[in-house]
Structure 1
Amino acid sequence: MSERVTPLSRDKLIRKLRNAGFEGPIAGGKHACMMKGKEKIIIPNPHRGDIGVVLIKKIMRQIGLTNEQWNEL
């Protein structure tokens, strides 16, 4: 059974992506991004609330992580 993904702050998202091997955030354009080799992930701009599960799931699909792998980061 897969573990749930929960909303989290932008700082925690960045920390998890760094744990997955991404570097950044790198400023440029309207949104910052994080890089791992040639792989580029766009991350949301800072705001008051947490990042929702739907957006986190989209990021997870882009980098190929399961719920379990994501929660271990």
Structure 2
Amino acid sequence: MPPLPSVSGTRIVRALERHGFKIARVAGSHNIMRHPDGRGTTVPVHGNRDVAKGTLRGILSDVGMTIDQLAP
């Protein structure tokens, strides 16, 4: 598995939106994303701070994608 890049929460939200995910709701600084097929995940958006590698790995696992698929 290639190393995960440093990515901000805002960029993850935008990438997921390109793949059909919508922001279902916002709880504090966390965007809850849902896809029409039922997949969902929570993305922490803390300004321009990067998401931790383990959290990014969990988000990718939740949505069933690889980092290459997430990139434009």
TM range (shorter): 0.7 to 0.9
SS in 1 for 2:46: coil
Q: What root-mean-square deviation, in Å, do the aligned CA atoms of Structure 1 and Structure 2 show?
A: 2.3
Amino acid at match of 1:22: F
Where do 5+ consecutive residues of structure 2 fail to align? none
Q: Distance in 2 between matches of 1:10 and 1:58?
A: 13
Contact 1:24 / 1:34 at 8 angstroms: preserved in 2?
Answer: yes
Where do 5+ consecutive residues of structure 1 fail to align? none
Q: CA shift at 1:45, angstroms?
A: 3.7
Considering Cα pairs closer than 8 Å and 6+ residues apart, tell me whether 1 or 2 has the greater RCO: 1
Structure having the higher Rg: 1
Greater fraction strand: 2
Q: CA shift at 1:28, angstroms?
A: 4.0
TM-score, normalization: structure 2? Answer: 0.73
TM-score, normalization: structure 1? Answer: 0.72
Q: CA shift at 1:29, angstroms?
A: 6.9
Structure 1 runs of 4+ with >3 Å offset: 28-31
Aligned length: 71
SS in 2 for 1:34: strand
Aligned sequence identity (%): 20
> 1:1-73 alignment to 2 at 5 Å?
2-24=1-23, 26-28=25-27, 31-37=30-36, 38-71=38-71, 73=72
